[in-house]
Each structure stands twice: as structure tokens, then as C-alpha cells.
Amino acid sequence: MAASFPHDHFKTVSGYGGEKNYDYEARALVGMGSNTIAFPEELSEAWLRLARDLGSAGYREAMSELTGIDLRAVPMEVNVFHYGPGASLGAHPDLPDKLVTHILYFNESWDRNDGGCLNILHSNDPNAVAAEIEPLVGNSAILVRSDHSWHAVTPVVSGCHSSRRSLTATFYRPGSQSSMWPPGDHTPLHGYPRA
């Protein structure tokens, strides 16, 4: 799956000076509240299987059992991300309309000195690191949203020759709208070169 990581239909997501600073690229994989796979013609068979698995009742049941939160019928969306040089995500807890976010990683190798690690934080202080997770195949994280579930992605250093590659399956409270793809969002989509 790392070898066929998607490179199509990404949008740039960035913001500075608000509650958190962020700058990265995002691609829809499974649409909010549906099992519709986004741009399936561009995906490898392995990625199509993953998208179907993430939309399955079995996955929802497993995540419900793991987190102790009933996720069987809440809206969910799945997005793919790549963080190139300079990309980051500042310290924050997730938005209140999110219940649980499951993060999977797709880098076959990674040097933590290149940044791009998920830091689980004790507070909004980016130096108050409780755990650091490298974006390597086989690593995963589950964030159960609370007012104290602080986390950040360290900036990818300039000159890094690969992008940090991940996927998030995010479960929302009923009635929520996608924070990544809000209604009326017409941000231009683009590809990025395979590295």
C-alpha cells in the first residue's frame, strides 16, 4: 500500500494565526456519512479494499469495542494526507464534533529528525510530549476526542526527500458536517509528484 499511496486529487489545507497553525495536503478517500469511495479510478486495488474495509460494519464494531464509544451508526469520513517539506499541524485537541480519529501511516522508512511525527501532548505546550509516533507502516494511533486530547504533527524539515503519508478515519457526532470538506468547498484539487 505504501508503494501505491494516492498522488491525485489533493487540496492544500493551511491556516495561520488562529487556534492552531497548519499546512498540509489532503485527499478524500471515503465521503462523509457514506461508503462512497472518492476518485476510485485513480486508486490501486489494495487502496480500494482498504476503503471498503474502513466502511464496513466490522471495522465500526471493532472501533466501538476498542474505544468504548458506540460508533456503529455515526457519520464517518476517511481522508489521506501527505505532508511535504514545511508541512505541520500545531498543538490542538480535535474539534468538539469529532468523537474518534484513527490514524494509519504509510512511510516504509522515516528519519524522526525530518519531523513529521505525531506528538501526543500533556497540554497545549508543544514541548510537553507524552508520546511520539513516527509515520511508519505498522504504526497507528487512535485519538478519543476530549478537551485535553492535545496532539500535533512536528514540521517536516526543508530538504526532506519524502512526504509524511497518513490516513485518518474520523467518526463524528450525529448531525455534524465534514470539517475537511465542508459544503460549498470548491478548493482546486491537484496531484503531486511521486517521490
In tens, the pLDDT along 91-116 reads 999 999 999 999 999 999 999 999 99
Q: Parse the chain into domains and list their residue ranges.
A: 12-172
Find the mean pLDDT for residues 11-24. 76
Q: pLDDT (tens digit, 9 = 90+) per residue, 164-177? A: 999 999 999 999 99
Options 3.40.50.2300, 2.60.40.10, 2.60.120.620, 2.60.120.10; CATH of 12-172: 2.60.120.620
Strand extents, DSSP E, the chain: 11-15, 22-30, 76-83, 88-92, 98-105, 118-121, 129-133, 140-144, 151-153, 164-172
pTM (whole model) above 0.85: yes
87 touches 156 (CB < 8 A):
yes
